[in-house]
Amino acid sequence: MRTLQAIALAAILVLSGCAGIGGPSAPVQTTETTQAPPPSQLPGVTEKGVTDPAELLSTHAEVLQRSSYTLQSNVTETYANGTLYASRTESTTYGSSDTHFTSHITAKGPGTPFLGTPAGEVAYWSNESVILRATEPGADGETNYARLSQPPELPHEDYYERLYVIFSSMETKLAGTTTGPNGQTLHVVESTTVQYPNQLAPTEKYGNVSNVSFTARIASNGVVRSYELTYTVTLDGKRLTVHESMQISKVGDATVDRPSWVDTALEKTS
């Protein structure tokens, strides 16, 4: 999986529920912002904000490739009347070894087809000898299990390139610091002028990106620990509001727990 991160990083440089398998929760930021001098020690960041996304994200990737960590993300798209079009939530934990990880992904809404249905869940667990997958619902409506010969391409692998697209689409400013969950200082970056709004749309089916709001928090080691991005788009003549968030936690201190469904998966796929 770390190899896939390296591939995504190379692309950046070129650009320069059911209870059966558990479920993630959306990232939440609960800290308060305070004023602080510009963080001149951050790679790719100056008094003007993020000025070199490739340099910042190169450091971001290098730190994570040699660390355990947990990544939580959510993308939710809703119509003006509040009706859900699509939602996708992910929680993934990597151990310090490439072979150890666990992930849970939940999809909801008609805009996020999941195995031919508007909702579903998939979970993965891997150690040094086996990669397992649990899917709800399966083709028969029950939980299906499988052993994989290759690691899955988890959605969070896109976050390196996604972060590059975001930072390259807008000008940003430093907005002080905030205290992270473990008391560490995080540098707050906010959007100012959005120069290329349509780049923010995840696919070409969305148009007319506007009303962009973005806030990110960067640790002193260069890791983008969290961000929230909100914007509106047009889809088939209707307006959608997109809320996107990501949070990285437990860097260097994450544990890959064994999910309760693993024993069943091992038995059914032996």
CB 212 within 8 A of CB 191: yes
Residue 213 has pLDDT above 60, yes or no: yes
Band of pLDDT at residue 246, cut at 50, 70 and 90: very high
CB 132 within 8 A of CB 109: no
Handedness of CA 221, 127, 6, 12 (dihedral sign): negative
Mean pLDDT of the chain: 84
| Residue that the structure tokens 């959007």 belong to | 191
Residue 4 has pLDDT above 50, yes or no: no
The pLDDT score that the predictor gives to residue 141 is 73
The pLDDT score that the predictor gives to residue 19 is 44
Band of pLDDT at residue 267, cut at 50, 70 and 90: very high
pLDDT digits (tens, 9 = 90+) for 34-59: 444 456 689 999 988 999 999 999 99
The pLDDT score that the predictor gives to residue 182 is 81
The pLDDT score that the predictor gives to residue 181 is 81
The pLDDT score that the predictor gives to residue 155 is 59
CA-based max dimension of the chain: 58
Give the HSE-up count for residue 83: Cα atoms under 13 Å, Cβ half-sphere: 7
The pLDDT score that the predictor gives to residue 47 is 85
The pLDDT score that the predictor gives to residue 34 is 43
If one looks up domain 2-16+19-268 in CATH, what number appears?
2.50.20
Residues 6+ apart with CB under 8 A from 124: 101, 102, 103, 104, 131, 132, 133, 134, 148, 152, 154
- Coil, helix or strand at residue 3: helix
Beta bridge partners of 90: 73, 105
Give the pairing type, strands 185-194 and 207-219: antiparallel
Strands (E), 59-205: 69-79, 84-94, 101-108, 119-126, 131-136, 144-147, 170-179, 185-194
The pLDDT score that the predictor gives to residue 138 is 63
Question: What is the domain partition of the chain in residue ranges?
Answer: 2-16+19-268
The pLDDT score that the predictor gives to residue 202 is 79
pLDDT digits (tens, 9 = 90+) for 11-27: 444 444 444 576 655 44
Backbone angles phi, psi at 266, to 5 degrees: -65, -40
Residue 28 has pLDDT above 50, yes or no: no
pLDDT digits (tens, 9 = 90+) for 128-181: 899 999 998 766 678 999 999 998 887 555 588 999 999 999 999 999 999 988
| Residue that the structure tokens 């997109």 belong to | 242
The pLDDT score that the predictor gives to residue 105 is 92
The pLDDT score that the predictor gives to residue 40 is 64
The pLDDT score that the predictor gives to residue 158 is 55
Residue 259 has pLDDT above 70, yes or no: yes
The pLDDT score that the predictor gives to residue 17 is 40
